Amino acid sequence: MQFEAVKAKNPGVTMYLVTDPAFKKYGRVIQGYDFTPYVTYLKEHTAVPESGNQYVASVPEMEALPITAQVEHFLFAGMPVQVGYCNGNGSLLNAFEYHKCSEISVGTTDMVFLLYKVEDLADDGTVHSKDVVAFYCPAGVAIELYPHTLHYAPCKTSDAGFQCLVILQKGTNEPIEKPTHPVNHEDRLIMARNKWAFGHKDSSVVATRGGFEGIFGENTCIRY
């Protein structure tokens, strides 16, 4: 783990370890579960793309692992889940998304998550990037991001990129027809099933997908 080194190279970013009490607002470190089978699968059967990020929502082989039954029964209280991954080379904030269920992640690599809370957004639904908080998650540490925690793909901490398990309630991120007559601001943010999102002007969410521009200031880049 190189938390202190990464923190020192990002003096303009508020950064903590996920084990710091500051993380309790956004999520928790999961204790008592052995996620090794997921980590092993990611290492042996998935790769980091040469550029960009790759998200796969559901991998049947991962969902068939015995640990999934525990995750589904206990961590999601019987709700069906999908087990997938996000691998990539990202270093930028770019955008935020949130779900109305928890998200569980664990990496084969160290990662940095850039987080904010829906309830802390300005009245117009925006946030300045200087107020976003970074959390360093060491390899093998499983975390739960609470519903309404704004997040996106993690940021890498080395040239090797990142490999990150993603467990969500089944059906999350599947395509959905966007509301043609949104009733309120939140309706405008619907991007997929159980996914509300908005972005920085430089992100694909805004530039090519027509999403709401809700992140202002510098598009935060995590250096390592």
Q: Give pLDDT tens digits for 173-215.
A: 999 998 889 999 999 999 999 999 999 999 999 999 999 999 9
The alpha helices in the chain, defined as continuous H runs, are 3-8, 36-45, 60-63, 67-70, 185-188, 204-207
How confident is the model over 82-124, as pLDDT tens digits?
A: 999 999 999 999 999 999 999 999 999 999 999 999 999 999 9
pTM of the predicted model as reported, rounded to 2 decimal places: 0.97
Q: What is the pLDDT of residue 130?
A: 98
Strand partners, 112: 136, 155
Q: What is the pLDDT of residue 214?
A: 98
Query: CA 115 to CA 21: how far, in whole Å?
Result: 15
Going by C-beta distance under 8 Å and a sequence separation of 6 or more, which residues neighbour residue 78? 72
221: pLDDT confidence band, cut at 50, 70 and 90?
very high
81: pLDDT confidence band, cut at 50, 70 and 90?
very high
Domains of the chain: 3-216 (2.60.120.10)
Give me the long-range contacts of 11-17 (CB less than 8 A, separation at least 24): 12/130, 13/132, 13/134, 13/220, 13/222, 14/132, 14/133, 14/134, 15/112, 15/133, 15/134, 15/135, 15/136, 16/133, 16/134, 16/135, 16/136, 17/135, 17/136, 17/137, 17/138
Q: What is the pLDDT of residue 178?
A: 85
Say whether pLDDT at 171 is over 80. Answer: yes
Say whether pLDDT at 1 is over 90. Answer: no
> Looking at residues 37-55, what average pLDDT do you find?
97
By the 8 A CB rule, do 81 and 68 touch? yes
Say whether pLDDT at 11 is over 80. Answer: yes
> Looking at residues 3-11, what average pLDDT do you find?
98
168: pLDDT confidence band, cut at 50, 70 and 90?
very high
